[in-house]
Structure 1
Amino acid sequence: MAALLFYKDPAPLNRDLHKALRYQSSGDYSFTDSVNSVPLTGIEFFEASRDMPVLFSKDDEGRFFPLALLSLMDAGHKQLDGEGRWEDSYVPAFVRRYPFALTDEGTVCFDKESAQIGGEKGEALFNDEGENSETLNNIIQFLNNYDQQYKNTRAYCDECSELELFSPFNLQVMADKDNPLRLEGLYVIDEKKLAGLQEEKINDWFKAGWLAWSYAHLHSLGSLRRLLKKQQ
């Protein structure tokens, strides 16, 4: 499972301990305001590429994973308005799933510190019989879909790595004349190596959707200018 980036006090959801909990959806994404990127799944590359660069990084195990670059700052981003609402750009599923997540074992967990979870306002997570409410079932369906896409994206990145398609992406951007910004530790797919794949591999990737993901990623690099403009 991707790291619980925003979760202050994650806990497994238990129908006995948490039978009175309610969930209130919110458009306030201010919990993201300290990060400059978030993980992304491959199926999101298309929509995200219109608004933000899709790049790759390495986790602690040295495995590649994709991310949406939210800003060119060392920390924080400018995707939010004054009320914490996501402003005129794609909201990654990694952000939308908060305050819930799924463990590698399939257990639903939630952030006990989230303002969206409580005992008074919102939709019940369990009914009077202690069974999942429709709200909770919809949340679980979203989490399962996300988990499946996450695993598919992992397989895609592992094969890109095996085929040695990744190249370092180091870029220096002048936010202003006295403030150069450097992007380091990031990677892109080498378009020439991608085009040089064997025909059988290209056909497999086309059927899996991975070829389209790769070109959506390459297309997204054009949004670096848009990101810089938004930041300025």
Structure 2
Amino acid sequence: MSNNVLLNNVDHRDLRVDPRRGAAFGDDVMYAPTFPDEFRNVQAHYPIVFHRDASGGFHALALFGLQEGANLFLEANGEGERWDATYIPLSIQRQPFLIGMAGEERLVHVDLDHPRVRAGTGEVLFQDPGIATEFLERARSILLALHDGIVATPPFIEALLRHELLESFVLDIQLDDGSLNRLAGFHTIDEARLQALDGAALERLARDGHLLPIYMVLASLSRFRDLIERTNRRRAAGR
């Protein structure tokens, strides 16, 4: 359960947030939401896929593993863990903070029950006399970028659906230990359909800023090889 409250410099003057990475802080997840303006950074490390929710809507995800609850980018690092990539999606970076809306105003909230907060150690959020620290200012910037990116995503999804560019896929994998594994339940870009679009459709996609993110998604699919290799290494190490 979460306990989201509006952050303020009176009630939360002594609040600390642990910035370390690890399963204990909620990082051991298979995927996280992403958005078109983030695709360039995400595709360098993670496959980008699409998932249809219960209402039928699609969401873009950065994939960290091949099964639920497995983040292949978390690695042991001395007494703790580290995230083995130079870029971490903003939806992960923002934790334990959230954006709340009061009319048109965007306000920072914090989950008081998040393990990064319950740890009671880490970065302070306010300095005397109640001024936000550099750590909190960076968190606020992450939240605003994430909020703007997610709000701007529906037109991109609508364009994909309009041109019937989303297709479901199944990835069957045989690991080095001989075990067979299947990844299903996700969608990707239908490359054949994309190549068949006429010039006017491609021009409109480019003009609306959708064509580059589409190619970033296609480029990201090569990162599945990395997920398979990381899975093989974990299996070989007995993890």
TM-score by length of 1: 0.82
User: Structure 1 34/120 Cα, relative in aligned 2: closer, same or farther at 3 Å?
Assistant: closer
C-alpha distance in 1, partners of 2:10/2:53? 34
C-alpha distance in 1, partners of 2:92/2:170? 26
Contact 1:99/1:116, CA 8 A, preserved across alignment: yes
1:90 has 2:87 as partner: yes
- Residues 153-179 of structure 1: CA deviation (Å, up to 9, x unaligned): 232112212322111111111124652
Contact 1:28/1:84, CA 8 A, preserved across alignment: yes
C-alpha distance in 2, partners of 1:74/1:136? 31
Show the 5 A alignment for 1:209-224. 209-224=209-224
Identity %: 24
Question: Which residue does 1:157 correspond to in 2?
Answer: 157
Question: Which residue does 1:148 correspond to in 2?
Answer: 148
Contact 1:22/1:121, CA 8 A, preserved across alignment: no
Question: Which residue does 2:100 correspond to in 1?
Answer: 103
Q: Which moved more, 1:29-38 or 1:217-226?
A: 29-38
Question: Which residue does 2:235 correspond to in 1?
Answer: none
C-alpha distance in 1, partners of 2:140/2:40? 24
User: Structure 1 137/94 Cα, relative in aligned 2: closer, same or farther at 3 Å?
Assistant: same
Give the aligned length. 224
Question: Which residue does 1:48 correspond to in 2?
Answer: 42
After TM superposition, give the deviation of residue 211 of structure 1 in Å.
0.7
Any unmatched runs of 5+ in structure 2? 233-239
Question: Which residue does 1:125 correspond to in 2?
Answer: 126
Contact 2:35/2:153, CA 8 A, preserved across alignment: yes
Contact 2:168/2:185, CA 8 A, preserved across alignment: yes
Secondary structure at the counterpart of residue 149 of structure 2: helix
Structure (1 or 2) with the greater strand fraction: 2
Any unmatched runs of 5+ in structure 1? 1-7
Q: Which amino acid aligns with 2:56?
A: G
C-alpha distance in 2, partners of 1:155/1:127? 43
How large is the Cα RMSD of the aligned pairs? Answer: 2.7
C-alpha distance in 1, partners of 2:199/2:14? 54
Secondary structure at the counterpart of residue 110 of structure 2: strand
User: Structure 1 192/63 Cα, relative in aligned 2: closer, same or farther at 3 Å?
Assistant: same
Question: Which residue does 2:70 correspond to in 1?
Answer: 76
Q: Which moved more, 1:69-78 or 1:22-31?
A: 22-31
Contact 2:13/2:125, CA 8 A, preserved across alignment: yes
The structure 1 residue matched to 2:21, chosen from 25, 28, 41, is: 28
Question: Which residue does 2:192 correspond to in 1?
Answer: 192
Q: Which amino acid aligns with 1:122?
A: E
User: Structure 1 89/135 Cα, relative in aligned 2: closer, same or farther at 3 Å?
Assistant: closer
Secondary structure at the counterpart of residue 141 of structure 1: helix
C-alpha distance in 2, partners of 1:135/1:27? 13
After TM superposition, give the deviation of residue 189 of structure 1 in Å.
1.1
